[in-house]
């Protein structure tokens, strides 16, 4: 592949990563509003457990999807590094492997923290 094709693929992967976060963001927003408004205080234990499992499921599926996109983006970075010479844009993207790894670690950390925090508030 040419550098331009790889850069276009990189941009496509970035769009996919952003889109993959949309359903999780909506779920978190709705559950946060319900929690802040006190709806979980009077909810049954079954409803609370369902909300917790729903948040966990949506989050887990979102993370798996994002991990696949990050894995594909990492291989794209490796392929881009093999191109010579690279434009400034190509060089910036080729240097993004650490950023991708940091993104993966932060996704795990924030997801665990959110799930634990939600469990503490709701249950």
Q: Tell me what pLDDT residue 35 has.
A: 86
How far is residue 118's CA from residue 112's CA, in Å, rounded to a whole number?
Answer: 10
**What's the confidence (pLDDT) of residue 4?**
92
Q: For the chain, which ranges sit under pLDDT 70?
A: none
pLDDT for residue 115: 82
User: Positive or negative, the Cα torsion across 14, 18, 96, 59?
Assistant: negative
Q: How many C-beta atoms surround the C-beta of residue 87 within 10 A? A: 12
Using a pLDDT cut of 70, give the percent of the chain over it. 100
- Please provide the average confidence, as pLDDT, over all residues in the chain: 89
pTM value?
0.76
Output the domain CATH number for residue 69: 1.10.132
Domains in the chain: how many in total? Answer: 1
Residue 84 domain boundaries: 3-122
Q: Which residue has the tokens 């319900």?
A: 34
CA–CA separation, 65 vs 17, rounded Å?
8
- The pLDDT value recorded for residue 24 is 84
């Amino acid at each position: 592949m040419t550098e331009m094709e790889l850069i276009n693929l990189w941009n496509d992967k970035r769009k996919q990563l952003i889109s993959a976060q949309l359903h999780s963001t909506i779920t978190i927003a709705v559950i946060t509003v319900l929690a802040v408004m006190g709806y979980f205080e009077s909810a049954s234990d079954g409803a609370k457990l369902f909300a917790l499992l729903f948040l966990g499921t949506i989050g887990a599926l979102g993370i798996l999807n994002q991990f696949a996109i990050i894995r594909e983006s990492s291989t794209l970075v490796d392929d881009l590094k093999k191109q010579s010479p690279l434009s400034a844009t190509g060089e910036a993207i080729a240097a993004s492997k650490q950023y991708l790894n940091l993104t993966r670690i932060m996704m795990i950390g924030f997801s665990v923290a959110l799930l634990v925090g939600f469990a503490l508030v709701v249950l």
